[in-house]
Structure 1
Amino acid sequence: MSLKAVTLALALLAITGAHADVSARQVADVVWNYFTQLTGNAKETMEQIQQSEISKQLNTLFQDNLQNVNSYAGDLQKKLIPFATELHAKLSQDSEKLKEQIRQELEDLRVKLSPYADEVHQQISKNVQELQLKLSPYAEELRGQVNQNADLLRQQLAPYAQELRDKLQENVDGLQASLAPYAEQLQQQIDKNVADMKEKLAPLADALQVKIDQNVEELRKQLAPYAQDVQDKLNHQLEGLSFQMKKGAEDLRAKLSESADELRLKLNPYAEELKEKLRTDAEGLRQSLGPYVEGLSGQMEQKIEEFRQTVGPYGEAFNKQLVQKVEEMRQKLGPYAGEVEDHLSFLEKDVRDKVASFFSTIKQIEN
C-alpha cells in the first residue's frame, strides 16, 4: 500500500464534528493499515518515517476540516495521536515476539492432540459441515435480497423514462417548467432506494456474526475433551479464528454498503444530465432530450443489473471464506503443519482491542 493510499484512508477520518464520526474501528483500521504498509518497506525507511509520519498524518486527520472540529474532537486529537504513535511503534517490537509465542502455542497443542489426530480431524470436519449448512440459507437470503432490491429499484425508476417521453410530446414553451420536477424526483428516488437497500442488507451481516459465535463455541466444546491441560491455548487459537471470521463479516457489511453507494454514484449522473439539459435554450431542448430519454431506461437498467450480478454472489464467497478459515484451523492443529504465518491476525486483534479500550476509557473520563 502506498503512502498516498494510507493518506486516503486517513482522509476518511477527517470528519470529526460529532462523537460518532471517529470510531474505534476507524482508528484501528488506520493504525493497522499504516503498520502493514510500513512492514513492506526497507528497515532503514521504516526507521526514518515510522515515528514521525504517522503522527503527522494523524494530526492532518483532525486539521483538514477545522471548521467541523468541536471541543470533543480537539481533545480527542491530543490524546489519540500520542496513543496511536506509541501503539504503532510497539507493533514492530511485538510482531516477532508474538510469532514465536504462537509457534510454541501451536506446537504444544499439536503434541497434546497428536494421540487423537483422527478424532480431532473428524470433529473439525463435522464442524465445517455444520457451518456450511448454517450459512447456506444466509447466502440464499442475501442473493434474494439483492435481486428483490434491484427489481424494486428498476420498477421505481422505470416510470420516469415513460413520463419524460410523454412530456416531450407537449408544448415546447412549457417543457422546461414541466420537466424540472422530474430531475429532482429522479435524484430523490435513486437516493431513497439505495438507502433502503443498505438498510435491508446490513442486518444479514449482523446475523452472520451471531452464527460465527455459535459455531466457534461449538468447535471449542467439540475439541475440549482432547485438549485437557492446554485448554487456554486452544481457546486462544479459537479467539483468533473468531476474530478472522468476524472481520470477514464486517468486510462483507462494508462491501455491501460500498457497492450500494457505487450504484448510486453510477445512477446519479442520469439525474444530473437531465438537470444540465434543462438549462439549454428552449429551442434545442426537445432535440437534446430525445436521445437522452430514449436511452435512459435501458442505461439505468444496465447499471442495476451490473450491481445485481456483482453483489449477488457475495454471500457464497463469504461462506467459502469462513469454511476456509475453519479448514486452516484443522491444518494448523495437524502434525505436519508448516510455519506460523497468521500471527499477524492475533497482532491485529490486539491492536483493535487496545484501540477499543482507549476509546472506552476516553468515554468514561468524559462522562
Structure 2
Amino acid sequence: MKLSDITQRLPSVEHDNNIDILRAMAILSVALHHFSVYSGIQVPLFGPDGGGIGVQLFFLISGYLIIQSAERNTLGDYAKARFFRIFPVYWVTLVGILLLEVALVPGFRQIVANDYPHFLFNLLNLQQLSLRSILFFDRVHVGWTLTVELFWYVIVVVLALLAHRLRWRHFWLGVLVLSTLMSVAWINTAKTGLLDILYLGQAQQAGIEFTPALRHALINSSIVSYLYFFVMGTVIYRYEPVLRRISSSVLWPVALVLLLMWAKWQAVMDLAPQPLSAVGLACVFILSLRLPPLQDTLSRYIGKISYSLYLVHAKVMVVVYTQLHWSSAAGHLTVIIVTFLLATLLYYVVEQPMIEYGKRFRSTRRSGTAAAAAI
C-alpha cells in the first residue's frame, strides 16, 4: 500500500492499542527526571533527559488522539470534552496547593497578596504567557506544558478545517515539514536574543534578570518549538496502516540510537527540542501500535491516572526532598505512596467524574469523518 492510498482512517479511538502503556512510559520518564533533580540521585538517561523524553512523548500521544476528537465532534462538543478533561482536576490541584502554601508559607502569602492578578493566567492554563505567573504561581511545576497543550487544542481545529477545505492528499505531511522548519527557525532566532523582547519588559518590571535559562523556559519551550511533535502524532494516526508495516528490525535500532544518544544529538544539532528526538519517539509509538494489547495491569493503571500523576508528582517531591530534606529510603517510599494515593484520589473523585459529567452537556449529533461538518 502506498501513502497516497490512505484516504480513510480506523473508526475506533478506543485505548486498546497500548496508548495507556505509552502514557505510563511518558509519566514515568518525567517522574524519573524530577526524582533525579529533587533527590540529587543520578538516574542514567532519564535523570538529565527524562523530562524531555516524557513530555515529547505526551505531545505525540496528544497529536494522535486530539485530531480524532476534533474530526468526530462538533466544535462545541470538542471544546466541552477538552474543558472537562483538563481543567477541573487541574484547578482542584492548583488551588489546593496554593491554599496550603498560603496557610503554611508566610513568604508565599506576601507574593500572592502582591501579584494575585497573575494567578488568573494559571487558572486559564496560559501561565507561560506571563513571566510572573510561570515563576510564582506554577505550583504544579509543569505548567508550561499545559499552555503548549492548550494552544494545540486550538491549532488542531484550524488545521483540520484547512485539511478538509484544501483536500490535499498529503496535507499533514506538509504541515509536519512546515512546523519542523518553523521550530528550527524559532529556536535559532531565540539564540540571537531577538525574541527576548517577548518577555524582556516583564522581566525588567519584575526586577528579574532574563537569563538563558529563562529564555529556554519561556521562548524555546513554546508551541512554536513543539508544534511538530503534535503534528507527528497526527501523521502517525493518518498513515497508521502504512507505518504499521515498517519492520520492527528497522524501528528498534532507530529508536535506540536516537533516544539513547538523546543529549549527544541535541548537542550536535544545537537545538532543544530537536527533530531527531521526534523521529525516535515516533518509532517507539509505532512499535507500540504494532504490538498486541499489553495486559500489564500496573502499567495500564499508571497510564490511566497519568494526568493526575503528572499534576501532583513534582510537588510531592519538592515537599519531601527540598522542604523536609527527607532523602532516605523511607523518603523515597513516602514519595511513591503519597504520589499514587493523591493521583488515585484525584482521578476517581475529580478527573473521571468530571469527564462523565461533561458528557451531559454534549450533543448527540456526530459529524462523521469530514472536518467541515465536525467543526
Q: TM-score range by the shorter chain?
A: under 0.3
Query: How high is the TM-score relative to the length of structure 2?
Result: 0.26
Q: Name the structure, 1 or 2, with higher relative contact order (CA <8 Å, separation 6+).
A: 2
Query: How high is the TM-score relative to the length of structure 1?
Result: 0.26
